[in-house]
Chain A
Amino acid sequence: MDNNLMLTLFNILILLLAPFFVIGIIKKTKAFWSGRKGVSIFQPLFDTIRLFKKDRTISTTTSWVFNFAPAVVFVTTLLAGLFVPMINCYSIINVAGAFIIFSYILGLGKFFALISAMDTGSSFEGMGASREASFTTIVEPAFFIILASLVALSGNYTFASLADVIKSNGTFGILIVILAVVSLFVMLLTECSRVPVDDPTTHLELTMIHEVMILDNSGIDLALITWANGIKMVILMALIANLIIPLGIGFGLSVGLFLLTLVLLAVIIGTLESGIARLRMSHVFEFVFVMSSFALVVASLAAVKMYGI
């Protein structure tokens, strides 16, 4: 029980605090590659605290939806995080079919983010919302295919099936994990609006997807939304970490490996953002479809493993 309590606390701490440091590390990495010293990795945390203190400017066009949405986005993202396993594949809410509830809770948050963007009556924000909604239609089915394949392989309907893949499937497991990790990484880049899908640093509205949707949010609303976006990033990183890190290697080692994975992924994202430019919008769809094809390969491999060729 004590152990579980500790893991629960750890999960909550990771969910709430890791987003700032992950984003801080990404920024630090980008600064390193461009030969700058860069800001401290605590800066995103300070920024959020500053935003909480600031006043808001609200558009006269908006209705209650705009006022209400940031709270929904934050709550749903945090709640979805409670279903996600962190250390030793322990998730606070562990239930069969968790990944379906997880996706639909995130979907609810996305729904409010989209209508909040449309509520401002801005053409830019409408464009961002439209693109975000379209990418979701590619990402989600692929995510479901991957998770369903892993569940079918392990016969375990919870997120614990993630950690099971390598252990019980040998070489096939390793192949499946590599493909699943790559495709979850593409999902991470898409959902958290990173290069090459989106560029979080640009303020040229025509190139943006997620960033443009929150142009009119300010103060506490903006703080909640950026925090929620960071939490979403940590959630997806945690899924990747659980695919890679084996079970039963001791508490200390798994905590270390877990944190190392988060840092490593942040560094990879930072390096990627320094190395390549954002794709042209017409090519972004092709990039996101990479996830779907990888997901189908994962499903085929799972089928071969289970039923032979």
Chain B
Amino acid sequence: MWTSGVNALWRAAYRRAVRSAFATVPLYRERWALGGRTDPVVVPGRTGTHGGAITAEEAVRKVVDLVPLAGGAASPDPARGLGHVLPLARPPRPGTLVVVVDPAIPRPPTDLPNTLRGCVLDPASLTGGTRPAALDEVVTALRRNGNVTAVGPDEAIAALVAALPEDLAHRVDRLPHRALDRLDGGPFGLIHDPVLGYLGGIGHCGRWHLDWPRVYARRTTGGLALTLLRQSSPRLVDILVAGGVRGEVAPCPRHGTPVVLT
């Protein structure tokens, strides 16, 4: 399945994203035309550094040039993709309240399915004098036997749990963030990057699956370069996250879809 199906579709989507970025996005146009890139090469004879990939820091710094000529959003959404990776990592039941506890995510996710409700909670507000309204909602949901999934860094989730009444704390489902260079053995977790958003999660098989219909990864000399296949603006193509992570992309022996091995 990997070689004949998913891989072919995946690569075709990536090549379309590269062609479109070269034709419409100023940063890639300038970078790949003058410096070059690989896989695919867009200007014969020019292969560039790191296969044309750029660091996430540079992408953020030059974000005005990641907006295509037709216009669009000029700031990355760190909550992007959560709705798509949740079913992969910890399928939520209908009606679940998804609480994003990460100081780097100021706005709630926009791509949650209609059956879920999402909110953000700044962990710093849990220790302040005023009790945040979202925390009351979490307590209310748990008292009504509802489901709550907490998503964020370990310490932020721990702060949320510590702020809950003792009899309810154990009922929160935890989905910790993991950076690409800090992937562990699970059993639950989401691959998250502050610039690209949610990239994948641990599947039932215990492997770190990519959200492959929306995220492409390839090896470059600078590390794994990630591409958001469906985000129109800011266009993020071949981004070296976490300073450039050595690793590879391989098919999952159980599912046949791409997993990350670092």
**A interacts with B:** no
Q: Give residues in B with beta carbon < 8 Å to A.
A: none
